[in-house]
Amino acid sequence: MDKPVTSNPWGALRQFTAARIALGRSGVSQPTAPQLAFQLAHARARDAVHLALDPVALGEALHAASGLPCISLHSAATDRNTYLQRPDLGRRLDDASRAKLAAAGARYDLALVVADGLSALAIEQNAAPLIRALMARLSAEQWRLAPITIVRQGRVAIGDEIAHLLDAQAVVVLIGERPGLSSPDSMGLYLTWAPRPGLTDASRNCISNVRPAGLTCDAAAFKLHYLLSEARRRQLSGVALKDETASESADLEAPRRNFLLE
């Protein structure tokens, strides 16, 4: 009897990627197992988008990782549905949050903003380890750090308003990225020098896919520290500032074999 699933001859390549390749077929259809795996990944991505951030638990974890006080804020998007339908409201604070920062304003070198974005799961898993790794690098240098702000229903640009109200020279926004079908836990880092409302993405540097199965927190902290140091030295960020780092990881620095030539 013929096997119900016809294997794909490229099946060996699946060890090199999490992408859905070489799944085989059953007749003219996709096999049951890959179809169920796809549905599970889709459900996890949807859950990550709608998962509510717990600012209290996150604040405790961030304080333990950094020693800094934490301030809980909210964007002008009142709930999740509004946030998803009105991106503009996620880019600015509500009135109560703006009043909180008015009382906390001072002159800082760096403001750290942690926002749920499109994946609170990514923030809950990766924000504290990233900040712990970053603080280990900043502790030997002279950085005046603002209290960490935790923003619910926030988007990247909200960091510009927060840093402007805190009178910070630079801001780093840690935010949950749009979930992929194999990466519901991916966090992005956005650095802006001289932040103020109205800036575009051209003024920001982005480090993406920070997660255990992507760019590790230690590697991301290494890159972020370099960009912060260069931004302060050169007084700029965005398209004028390039990441010229080499990874500290020996595994990443080792020559890569090309499996297509083997």
At 131-177, the pLDDT tens digits run 999 999 999 899 999 999 999 999 999 999 999 999 999 999 999 99
- Ordered domains of the chain (ranges, CATH): 50-243 (3.40.50.11240)
Position 253 scores a pLDDT of: 45
Question: Does residue 42 contact residue 181 with C-beta atoms inside 8 Å?
Answer: yes
Side chain identity at residue 71, one-letter code:
I
Tokens of residue 153, six digits? 């229903």
Position 258 scores a pLDDT of: 57
**DSSP for 1-55?**
---SSBPPTTGGGGGG-SS-----BBTTB--HHHHHHHHHHHHHHHHHHHPPP-H
Say whether 49 counts as a known binding-site residue: no
Say whether 206 counts as a known binding-site residue: yes
Task: Name the pairing type of β-strands 187-193 and 204-210.
Answer: antiparallel
Sign for the CA dihedral angle at 117, 122, 123, 124 comes to positive
pTM for the predicted model, two decimal places: 0.86
DSSP 92: S
Say whether 156 counts as a known binding-site residue: yes
Scan for tokens 């009897």, then name that residue: 1
Position 105 scores a pLDDT of: 65
List the chain residues with pLDDT less than 70: 1-2, 105, 246-262
Tokens of residue 227, six digits? 């960009």
